[in-house]
Structure 1
Amino acid sequence: MASEQGFIVIGAQNIFFSITNLRHLEEVERGQYPVPIGEDIFATKEIQPETVDTAVDALQAIFQLFRDYGVHHYDAVGSYSFFEAANAQFVVDQLYSRTGLMVAPQTLAQESFYRTQAVFARFPHFKEIIKDGTVLIDISSGSVELTAFRNGKFGFSRNLSIGPLRVFEVMSDVQATVPNYVDVLRDYIDSRLLDFMRLLPRDVHYTNVILMGSALSLFERLIPVGEATVETDREGFDLIYNEVTHASDQYLSDEYDLPMSQTSQVLPTVLLLYRLIKNLNSDKVWISNLNLLDGLEVDRAADKGFMHAGFDPDEEIVVSAQNLAERYRVDPKHRDATVQFSLQLFDRLKKLHGMGKRERLLLQIAATVNDVGSYIDTHHHFIHSEYIIQASELMGLTSTEQKMVATIARYHSSDQPQTDLSDLAELNSARRLTIAKLAALLRVADSLDASRQQKIESLRVSVKPDEVLLTATANDDVELERWTLARKGRFFAAVFGLPIELKGRTQA
């Protein structure tokens, strides 16, 4: 059936799969195959050949199941942890040559975005819960992603590289040499949480914590069959913590029905969550079995028009960009003016540039974050903006889109790409042209507030046969803006083939 699609997620310890009816968002089949990719990565930095063999066997079994169900369309993604391997690209090529599977990479921000979609669509009463401060904690083998909501809206997202398997691999030598391993492990985790806690908004009480992720298999016995979530309280979680910190591996294996190979991660998992919940001072703890696979299913169902996403995904991306701008103390009035002019120019010059909704969003994001580099150096801020944006988490953008935003920010100022765009050779020609168009529009928008005084109150855009004319109504003289546009508008003329000019009149 056309509405049924397959999904594959290659994680740090398992390859997950599902066959889902997107029209009704119902799973026909779901399962996982254990593949110890994370153990290789965190121990040796590379995925070993025998692990690749195990992955190939798992994928071939999954493809056979897809064929049995008549499923011809599928999405396959590799988690961020998978692509941390030094030889990840070689492994991707091996998987393709041996199974025909092309694995798409996921950034941490993309994974967080998909998980947010999963909880909005499938977590009971989620919109009611997030009216209070709520932190979604997704814990995988290699990392922990924290996504905060307040007043019913997305607040921010942070990733911490302290997943339980990673912690265990790092601390395994310590466990064998110290008598107070729990204390040392707690201190190690607290040291990694310090910067995260310092950056939390001080005026928000995070009443609720929602725990989810592939590393929470030890809690699955707490979730009744047929349900996706269970609610507990701080006292209930304290009991689990006290039990685990005094238990042997054999006891944990028997009590939580875990293979012995996973018991070593129980203590780091519980200790990590306990310290997070304690630091957040949360009252309620929700445990959910939703994961990245659920988010992919929801995203594809919404993309095909079978359901509403339950939230505005663009809003989450924009808020993420605003958070980044605030972290690097970008002038909010200039930022907002630049965003406003950018979108105005985009909308009124649509016939000239021919771009669509997604490109408009990329321009909005670039206009929001283009000045973050001023935090380091105001004179060459565009250089620093590029690498800050590249190294940051922008929710919902692909790695290519994030690279595009960073490059647009790089060229929004006096610097500009080669005329033939050859210095952007790592991107295909269509994306290079999009970057050039959006950078040209952003240059113009930035020029319109060159004085940083928001003089222009309204703007009229006219496309004439021989030029683009901007007519501004201002509350003060706009000579600096006109002079700046005369310089920075040359790139606009090179890209679109028309010069651009600003005329202004001052209100009486």
Structure 2
Amino acid sequence: MAVLAAIDIGTNSIHLILVEVDESTGATRQLRKEREMVRLGAGEALKKRRIGRKSFARGVEAIARFAGVAREAHADGIRAVATSAVREALNGREFVEAVRVASGVDVRVISGADEARLIQLGVSRGYPLHGRVACIVDVGGGSTEIIVADAERPRFLRSVRLGSLRLYEEFLAGHDPVDPNDYRRLQRHVERALRPLGRNLREYGYDVVIATSGTALGLAGADAASRGLPAGRVHGYELTAARLRALQRSLLRMTVGQRRRLPGMNPRRADIIVAGAAVLIGVLELLGRTALVVCDRALREGLVAEFLDERLERASQSGDPHAVRTEAVQEYAVRFGAGGEHERTVLSLSLSLFDQTRALHGLGAADREILYAAAMLHDIGYYVAASSHHKHSSYLIRNADLRGWTPGELMIVSAVARYHRRSMPKERHPEFALLSPEARDRVAKLAGILRVADALDARELGVVDAVRATARGGALELEAETAQEIDAELAAVGGKSDLLAAALGMRVTIRALQVERDVDQRAVAGY
């Protein structure tokens, strides 16, 4: 196992994510997320293009602390990127050097286009697109990135200087509550900045608008709380334009202090949230859309995905047979619009269940590789049709020509994928009938594990972080670690654990185990 760390140095906040990687398969598990709101773009930093002395020191200190956390976790690598505030600052190079001296971390200052590319990569691994095209909107502190993309690649990338902190400092900082005239000036500025993008954006036939990062999460949290829903569990939440406008009208009447006390609101964003909401409203109006979907994956997850892809490519180029097999499976998944966050979540949960139940199923390393391939490819049949996609997946796998894989191995992989949903294995099924009794036993056990793992990501939102398995009193007791409500996933496991129970000869039970997934560090005084 390897541990990778990614640090996203934004205009408003600095984020850390730690991910554990199974290098034999590429399966990942999030270990830790933290953020500190240091506000590198505070005051007149963006206007004067110079990071202030106090913000400078806070930023260096935060990154040094994050680097220490990563090293304590024995991270194999730390990848750090800086965006708008450092990119535009005249003392940006000085900041990067100060970080290197204090922490040993080399910071890469990325362009707006590269920032948008990484956001697309993070979102595409975190939200199920299944062939759909999305317009992704990431409102940061210094800029807003707008990306049109499918799960495989970006088609349109633009970065505009419409960050929530930038707009707050320029238009809204002088009055509390917001002065209506100031807000109208802000609205006109947003409209003028977005207008040139309208023609290009309307040329794309995208299916969904996805909003990422703190502004979108904060607004969704406040809206969810007003409806009596969990405010901290908004990944995949649909926020309509009508409700967003209504929320904005309420926020405009409040002081910053009142906004801080608003249920669901991140108090550290209470001052800049109005500016960020104005950008999202402007984008929805420009696109003529009535709703957006919130995604909690963004740039830092894109950094991790880039890191993993590069490591796998290097291993494959070196001729490592295992890396060649792994890359062949991943390329085949991407070819058919799969290989994203859902498949990787199912993969991680599948392998975890496999490892924890070795004494029960008695399978070996070769079977673990079969499970890896089946987990990555189980949904490629969607490329053909959603209906009976498990059968289409089986056909595509059975007829694949994957480097390093034998036809016999692919026959078993195809059968495991075939039974990740719907029917139990039957001798009248061609995929099952052609297998030996020993192979049928392997398929039943592996498909049973895959069915449960797939059920644990039933909504394809990655809300189950890990699973614990314990054999006790004739039952396999499963605990799903999560920071969110997972009633849908628990119900799905109840309906799909039949094959695993039959294969192991024991009952399967499931319950949620609530854990704290995100650590929100205290910001500077007053925020």
Match of 1:90 in 2: 94
Match of 2:188 in 1: 187
Cα separation, 2, equivalents of 1:179 and 1:236: 20
* Range 99-108 or range 300-309, more displaced: 300-309
Match of 1:70 in 2: 74
Letter in 1 for 2:11: A
Match of 2:349 in 1: none
Cα separation, 2, equivalents of 1:230 and 1:296: 24
Cα separation, 1, equivalents of 2:9 and 2:195: 30
C-alpha displacement of 1:144: 0.8
Give per-residue Cα distances to partners, 1:119-163, cap 9 Å, x unaligned: 22110x313442xxx311011011111112479974312221111
Query: Size of the alignment, in residue pairs?
Result: 306
Contact 2:261 2:267 in 1 (8 A): no
Letter in 2 for 1:46: R
Cα separation, 2, equivalents of 1:172 and 1:237: 19
Aligned in 2, Cα 1:233/1:34: closer, same or farther, shift over 3 Å? closer
C-alpha displacement of 1:93: 1.3
C-alpha displacement of 1:302: 2.2
Aligned in 2, Cα 1:92/1:259: closer, same or farther, shift over 3 Å? same
Aligned mate of 2:32, from 26, 29, 34: 29
Cα separation, 1, equivalents of 2:150 and 2:70: 41
Match of 1:347 in 2: none
Q: Which runs of 5+ in 1 are unaligned?
A: 313-508
Aligned in 2, Cα 1:246/1:79: closer, same or farther, shift over 3 Å? same
Letter in 2 for 1:87: N
Match of 1:290 in 2: 297
Aligned mate of 2:236, from 213, 229, 243: 229
Aligned in 2, Cα 1:179/1:65: closer, same or farther, shift over 3 Å? closer
Residue aligned with 2:261, SS: helix
- Normalised by the length of structure 2, the TM-score is 0.53
Mapping for residues 204-283 of structure 1, pairs under 5 Å: 204=204, 206-219=206-219, 221=221, 222=224, 228-256=235-263, 258=265, 262-283=269-290
Contact 1:214 1:291 in 2 (8 A): no
C-alpha displacement of 1:311: 5.0
Contact 2:60 2:98 in 1 (8 A): no
Letter in 2 for 1:136: I
Residue aligned with 1:53, SS: helix
Letter in 2 for 1:91: F
The higher-RCO structure (CA 8 Å, 6+ apart) is: 2
Match of 1:196 in 2: 197
Aligned in 2, Cα 1:257/1:46: closer, same or farther, shift over 3 Å? farther
Residue aligned with 2:148, SS: strand
Cα separation, 2, equivalents of 1:219 and 1:179: 20
Match of 1:115 in 2: 119
Cα separation, 2, equivalents of 1:44 and 1:38: 10
Match of 1:57 in 2: 61
C-alpha displacement of 1:233: 2.9
Mapping for residues 307-318 of structure 1, pairs under 5 Å: 308=330
Letter in 1 for 2:136: L
Contact 2:142 2:165 in 1 (8 A): yes
Residue aligned with 1:136, SS: strand
Matched, 1:127 2:130: yes
Give per-residue Cα distances to partners, 1:224-245, cap 9 Å, x unaligned: 6566321233333333233223
**Rg larger in 1 or in 2?**
1
Aligned in 2, Cα 1:233/1:262: closer, same or farther, shift over 3 Å? closer
Contact 1:207 1:283 in 2 (8 A): no
C-alpha displacement of 1:200: 3.5
Cα separation, 2, equivalents of 1:128 and 1:275: 27
Match of 1:20 in 2: 19
Match of 1:5 in 2: 4
Contact 2:241 2:290 in 1 (8 A): yes
Cα separation, 1, equivalents of 2:158 and 2:310: 26
Give per-residue Cα distances to partners, 1:94-120, cap 9 Å, x unaligned: 222222222111111111111111122
Contact 1:120 1:127 in 2 (8 A): no
Contact 2:12 2:165 in 1 (8 A): no
Contact 1:76 1:101 in 2 (8 A): yes
* Range 215-224 or range 5-14, more displaced: 215-224
Give per-residue Cα distances to partners, 1:150-200, cap 9 Å, x unaligned: 799743122211111111122147758965333222122112222122443
C-alpha displacement of 1:217: 4.5
Residue aligned with 1:38, SS: coil
C-alpha displacement of 1:88: 0.5
C-alpha displacement of 1:54: 1.6
Contact 2:123 2:295 in 1 (8 A): no
Match of 2:137 in 1: 137
* Range 25-34 or range 57-66, more displaced: 57-66
Letter in 1 for 2:182: Y
Cα separation, 1, equivalents of 2:264 and 2:151: 39
RMSD: 2.9
Contact 2:129 2:150 in 1 (8 A): no
Contact 2:202 2:287 in 1 (8 A): no
Aligned in 2, Cα 1:21/1:58: closer, same or farther, shift over 3 Å? same
Letter in 2 for 1:78: A
Percent identical pairs in the alignment equals: 15
Mapping for residues 456-471 of structure 1, pairs under 5 Å: none
Letter in 2 for 1:103: V
Cα separation, 1, equivalents of 2:19 and 2:173: 43
Cα separation, 2, equivalents of 1:49 and 1:154: 37
Letter in 1 for 2:138: D
Residue aligned with 1:180, SS: helix
Mapping for residues 479-498 of structure 1, pairs under 5 Å: none
Contact 2:132 2:207 in 1 (8 A): no
Aligned in 2, Cα 1:128/1:198: closer, same or farther, shift over 3 Å? closer
C-alpha displacement of 1:27: 1.0
Match of 1:146 in 2: 146
Match of 1:410 in 2: none
Letter in 1 for 2:129: F
Contact 1:119 1:290 in 2 (8 A): yes
Aligned mate of 1:39, from 33, 37, 42: 42
C-alpha displacement of 1:278: 1.6
Cα separation, 1, equivalents of 2:246 and 2:50: 38
Contact 1:114 1:296 in 2 (8 A): yes
Contact 2:81 2:108 in 1 (8 A): yes
Contact 1:230 1:286 in 2 (8 A): yes
Aligned in 2, Cα 1:140/1:151: closer, same or farther, shift over 3 Å? closer
Letter in 2 for 1:6: A
Cα separation, 1, equivalents of 2:58 and 2:174: 30
Cα separation, 2, equivalents of 1:282 and 1:162: 20
Aligned in 2, Cα 1:82/1:155: closer, same or farther, shift over 3 Å? same
Mapping for residues 300-339 of structure 1, pairs under 5 Å: 300-305=307-312, 308=330
